[in-house]
Structure 1
Amino acid sequence: MLDTLSVGHGAVALGIGMLVGLERERKKRRDEVPAAAGLRTFAITALLGYVSMLLAGPVLVGTASLGLILLLCLQYRYSPGKAPDVTGEIALLLVLVLGALSVAEPELAAAAGVVSTVLLALRRELHHFVLQRLSEQELRDGLTLLTVALVVLPLTPDRFLGPYSVLNPRTICTLVVLLMTVAALGHIAMRLVGPRYGLPLSAIASGFASGSATIALLAHDASRQPTAARSYAAAAVLSNLATITQFALVLSIIDRHLLGPFLPAVGLGALVTAIYGMLLLAPWRAAPSNSTAHLGAGAFNLWTALVITLALTGIALLSAFLLEHLGHNGASIAAFVSGLGDAHAATASAASLVVAGRLQMTELMVPGMMALTGNTLSKCVLALSNGGYAFARYLVPAQLIILGAMWLGTLA
């Protein structure tokens, strides 16, 4: 029975066919190939898939797909001088399937249609990127990241092992993937907009995942490019914006009333971070000509990611040891030590005690700030050990000033 819902889904199928068909029509005009499938062919094919699915389900869709394949084979059989357009034929089959998918999942079908059209329209740009811009090392790094993320990570067991049952292989592997992704995002950002603005953007984004890991990676890169230490330090300082924001989000998610006492500290810390980071970045000055990234280098270093993961895992074990032996009476000490690895997890643990009634709201201030203090100390050590003095002389004072500003906001 024809109703408003069926008409709407049919319009989605028609829209997908016309969208892909528009791109193919423009390509036909550019390449001067009059026999190629264009706007009308793709629109009709999408409607064919929709009507087939509506009338008889997947069986008729499969039959229509086989008929379309046979029709394409006959076309090339009787046009021997014509070079096959494999991409166009696959796009035509995809439009048929997306038209059928519009019956039950119009949102998914529309999204797939848009992505397909974008890929078809960016043919020259993608070919240029793969052949001219992408290096062999970057290609290998990308394959390594995909292998670890899509093959190794899903097969890693998700259960707690080892002393105090705090070591989760899935979590450790996820952290390795995260570190490689963070480094790859920074590499891509530098390739797109240069190290001055690409580094801060990628650092802030990756800081939401792990601020300590972000600073460790930036420090490692700065040690290989001492002349660009100031730019890397500016990005590392600005990554604290993510740490402070996530600190506030953790408190508000657990209980929105917990954020109130920390608002002055959060606001003052974010303001000092932004000012100090911009002073280091100094966008009003010309960037040094020798502070560019090595474009031929790889997107990330796997061994660096593994070493940082082992360090943070060791900190997690030490935190679990202290929590086991100190209990809630040592909440501030435990929060400080836990903050060496992750300030947000330590803050969430302390906030949960308040919600459970084991701590007063006024008693949360010190453990929360001790978690940030431990995290700041961890960042300073990582900056000095991975980046050397050239990097640490910019970052360590900034971290201490930001921490001091937050303590001042807490005590005010």
Structure 2
Amino acid sequence: MQEKILLDGIDLYGLVVALGGGLLVGLERERRRTWDSGLAGGLRTSMLAALIGALGMLLGPVAAALCAVLVGACVLAGGWPLRHRHRTLTAEFALFATFLLGALAIGHAQLAAALFVVLTALLAGKETLHRFSREVLGEQDLDDILLLAAACLIVLPLLPDRVVGPYGVLNPHKLGLLVIWVMAVGAVGYLGLRLFGARRGLVLAGVFGGFVSSTATIAGMGQRARADPALTRSCIAAALASNVATLVQLALILALVSPASLVALAWPLLGAALTTMVVCVAAMWHANGGAADAGAAQDYGRPFVLSHALAFAAIVAVALLGAAALQDWLGPRGAFAAAAFGGFADVHAATLAVGQLAATATLTPLQAAQAIAVAFTANAAFRCFAALSGGRAFGRPVAAGLIAVNVVLLLMLGLEPPRF
């Protein structure tokens, strides 16, 4: 953390941040004034507003309050005569925000510096934001985004964050997170599709979505492919790209929990990663060469379907109950069976559980690597099942790619019958 630079009690670092932030905002305002002659404020005005805010804080609360009243009065005076109906108060609000951030810089310089950057980005992105809200998003899109926001901010906090039901494996809060993630993947893929086109937007959404749940990402891309068959090839590439994140997370979990198990599984994971890259590149090349994606219609459907997300979470809940029942029935010797059933729902959770068993010497590193491979295989089967949500044209190529990756991992590991 940046230490304060004080000179006779004066926060010099905060003053520098205030002036620098005012300069940053002022540069954007000055460039915009070259074509908007009625714009209030510019380079000098923004720097003065930030400086006044900083000096007011240095002089004390009374001076800061007087400065706020003075700047606020000037802002009101400048924005009061709205002579044109298209005129907005953005410039006046930006000037007052610059003053407030200048005051914040005294004592909270790092936060103020970050907010200065955010303010400048918002001001500079005027055309992009307007185009996004008016041209990219439709009325139905806004309704779906509001539904997703309500699920995140209203429904999810109300779900109990504790285990319920038999075997103590079902957590309503986590299942709710999974539903929201399937919806969010669909929404991100939809926005990427609208902003960057089918070839780039969906693949980027697939890669980032895979870091939370590759299965949910595949299900979300399947929904997108079913909603718009013209985008099927790009959705296939995005679904396969999510597998990269799964392998990376697998390696990271083992590195933290059981490094010895990671060593035993290193070469199979590397082979699976290389195979994943090959199938992803092949899918992307196939998507780029497809005429269907190139001429995709402008009607991209809806960002997500709530009923599909709920059905997917229900399947995961059943899989978790089955894994717990197997482990309870078979006992410690059921580690492989439990890993298989647990991996069917979440390969990362299964990997974490197996890694902890290896860390406590319950399993040898080789046995742990074999159990994780079994969990990965079960999860691949579940992802193939999730791919069928997009129809045969989507599900078959995705399943073929996942099977190829899984076969390489098993062949390189050379699975042997478990020995206890």
TM-score over 0.5 (shorter chain): yes
Cα contact 1:195–1:293 (8 A) shared by 2: no
One-letter amino acid matched to 1:40: R
* 1:21 has 2:26 as partner: yes
Distance in 1 (alpha carbons) for counterparts of 2:57 and 2:318: 56
Instruction: Report if aligned partners of 1:135, 1:296 keep a CA contact under 8 Å in 2.
Output: no
Q: CA deviation at 1:388?
A: 3.0
Q: Mapping of 1:350-365 within 5 angstroms?
A: 350-365=354-369
- Matched letter for residue 151 of structure 1: I
Alpha-carbon deviation of 1:402? 1.0
Q: Structure 1 pair 293/309, CA: closer, same or farther in 2 (3 Å)?
A: farther
Whole-angstrom distance in 1 between the partners of 2:267 and 2:82: 76
- Read off the aligned partner of 1:29 and give its amino acid letter: T
- Segments of structure 1 that go 5 or more residues without pairing to the other structure are none
**What displacement does 1:396 show?**
2.1
3-state SS of paired residue (1:153): helix
**Letter of the 1:117 counterpart:** T
Who is 1:232 aligned against? 235
Superposition deviation, residue 260 in structure 1:
0.9
| TM-aligned CA deviation for residue 81 of structure 1 | 5.5
Distance in 1 of aligned mates of 2:410 and 2:293 = 38
Give the corresponding residue for 2:43: 39
Sort the Cα spacing of 1:323 and 1:188 in 2 relative to 1 into closer, same or farther, 3 A. same
SS of the residue 1:335 aligns to = helix
**Aligned pairs for 1:108-127 within 5 A:** 108-127=111-130
Match runs of 1:269-308 below 5 Å:
269-282=272-285, 286-289=289-292, 292=296, 295-308=299-312
SS at match of 2:55: helix
Contact 2:234 2:287 in 1 (8 A): no
Distance 2:83 2:181 in 1: 51
Matched, 1:104 2:107: yes
Task: Write the letter of the residue equivalent to 2:251.
Answer: A
Distance 1:290 1:236, change over 3 A: closer
SS at match of 2:7: coil
Rounded Cα–Cα distance in structure 2 between residues aligned with 1:81 and 1:407: 73
Give me the whole-angstrom Cα distance separating, in 2, the residues matched to 1:262 and 1:90: 57
Q: 2:190 aligns with which of 178, 183, 187?
A: 187
Q: TM-score, normalised by structure 1?
A: 0.91
Contact 1:137–1:297 at 8 Å: present in 2 too? no
Q: Could you tell me which of 86, 91, 94 is aligned with 2:89?
A: 86
Q: CA deviation at 1:85?
A: 4.8
Match of 2:219 in 1: 216
- Give the Cα–Cα distance (whole angstroms) in 1 for the partners of residues 225 and 83 of structure 2: 57
User: Residues of 1 paired with 2:146 and 2:287: CA distance?
Assistant: 39
What residue is the counterpart of 2:407 in the other structure?
404
Q: Is the 8 A contact 1:230 1:280 kept in 2?
A: yes
Letter in 2 for 1:180: M
Q: What percent identity do the matched residue pairs reach?
A: 35
Residues 235/4 of structure 1: CA separation in 2 closer, same or farther (3 Å cut): farther
Corresponding letter in the other structure for 1:49? G
Paired with 1:231 and 1:284, the residues of 2 have a C-alpha distance of 5
Checking the alignment, whether the CA contact within 8 Å between 1:176 and 1:305 is kept in structure 2 is yes
Residue 418 of structure 2 corresponds to none
Is residue 349 of structure 1 aligned with residue 353 of structure 2?
Answer: yes
- Residues 314-325 of structure 1: pairs in structure 2 closer than 5 A: 314-325=318-329
Residues 16, 46 of structure 1: 8 Å contact kept: yes
What is the CA–CA distance in structure 2 between the aligned matches of 1:330 and 1:289, rounded to whole Å? 48
Deviation at residue 290 of structure 1 after TM alignment: 5.4
Closer, same or farther in 2 for the Cα pair 1:195/1:33, shift >3 Å?
A: closer
Give the Cα separation in 1 of the matches to 2:73 and 2:399. 68
Alpha-carbon displacement from aligned partner over 1:332-360 (angstroms, at most 9, x marks no partner): 00000000001111011011011122222
Q: Shift in Å at residue 228 of structure 1?
A: 4.2
* Contact persistence 1:138–1:297 (CA under 8 A): no
Where does residue 331 of structure 1 map in the other structure? 335
Matched length: 408
Render the CA deviation track for 1:249-299: whole Å, top value 9, x for unaligned.
Answer: 110121333311111101111111111222233259633145636544222
Counterpart of 1:71 in structure 2: which amino acid?
C
Shift of 1:74: 4.3
1:354–1:56 Cα change, 3 Å: same
* Residue in 1 that maps onto 2:313: 309
Give the gaps of 5 or more residues in structure 2.
Answer: 1-5, 416-420
Q: Is the 8 A contact 2:71 2:96 kept in 1?
A: yes
CA distance in 2, matches of 1:202, 1:177: 15
Return the TM-score normalized by structure 2: 0.90
Pairing partner for 2:263 from 243, 260, 265: 260
2:26 and 2:43 in contact (8 A); partners too: yes
- SS of 1:375's partner is helix
